[in-house]
Amino acid sequence: MQPILVSACLLGRPVRYDGRAKPLQAPLLARWQAEGRLIPICPEVAAGLLTPRPASEIAPGDDAAAVLDGHGAIRTRDGADVTAAFVDGAAQTVALARHHGCRHALLIDGSPSCGSGFVYSGRFDGLRQPGRGVVAEALIRAGVAVFAPAQIAQLAAALES
Ligand code: SF4
């Protein structure tokens, strides 16, 4: 049975920047959890960031690829550069996926770490734009297929194929 890497906040762990969880109520997720195949991680907590912590976004004009390649930044609302911690969280997540042989991941969308379909503008104005977080980008580079919660049915199909 294939293991699935999963954002810890989707499983109800209160690890988000605001100290809350964002549990995903989905029969498929409950089934996978009962089967013991979920490998949870919060990359930001793994990197040593505190909870709660300041909201952070990929800087305007940068993207996850630029951040991972060393010429992009992630900053908090007050301008603190937290790039190194986010890159470290991405590296730890890839290492965990490799350790467990995960070829699929279910990550919450919109996060500068876990987002896979959209991220925020970098201006803390609430505007979304297409893009990935650094964890999603790093996992895809490592050959892991990444799915957002809205794609859980596609993930189930991919696991069967
Ligand atoms: Fe959830 Fe990922 Fe943010 Fe951690 S880094 S709180 S797992 S979205």
ipTM of the complex: 0.99
| Cα 111 to middle of ligand 1, angstroms | 7
* pLDDT average, residue stretch 136-150: 98
CA distance 105 to 145: 6
Q: Which of 42, 57, 94, 116 to mutate to test the pocket of ligand 1 (most atoms within 8 A of CB)?
A: 42
Q: What is the pLDDT of residues 82-138, one digit of tens each?
A: 999 999 999 999 999 999 999 999 999 999 999 999 999 999 999 999 999 999 999
Domain spans of the chain, in order of start: 4-160
Per-position b or e across 116-134, b if 16+ CB within 10 A of its CB: bbbbbebeeeeeeeebbbb
Q: Which of 4, 5, 7 to mutate to test the pocket of ligand 1 (most atoms within 8 A of CB)?
A: 7
pTM over 0.80: yes
Residues with a CB atom less than 6 Å from ligand 1: 7-9, 15-16, 42-44, 108, 111, 113-114
Give the pLDDT of residue 128. Answer: 98
Maximum Cα–Cα distance across the chain: 46
| Cα 61 to middle of ligand 1, angstroms | 22
Nearest-5° Cα angle at 92, 127 to 34: 85
Residues 6 or more apart from 107 whose CB is under 8 A from it? 5, 6, 7, 10, 114, 115, 116, 133, 135, 136, 139, 146, 147, 148
Residue nearest to atom 1 of ligand 1 (CA): 9
* pLDDT average, residue stretch 3-24: 98
Residue 161 confidence class, pLDDT cut points 50, 70, 90: confident
Residues 6 or more apart from 98 whose CB is under 8 A from it? 142
Q: In the predicted model, is pLDDT for residue 63 greater than 90?
A: yes
Give the pLDDT of residue 75. Answer: 98
* pLDDT average, residue stretch 36-55: 98
Give the pLDDT of residue 28. Answer: 98
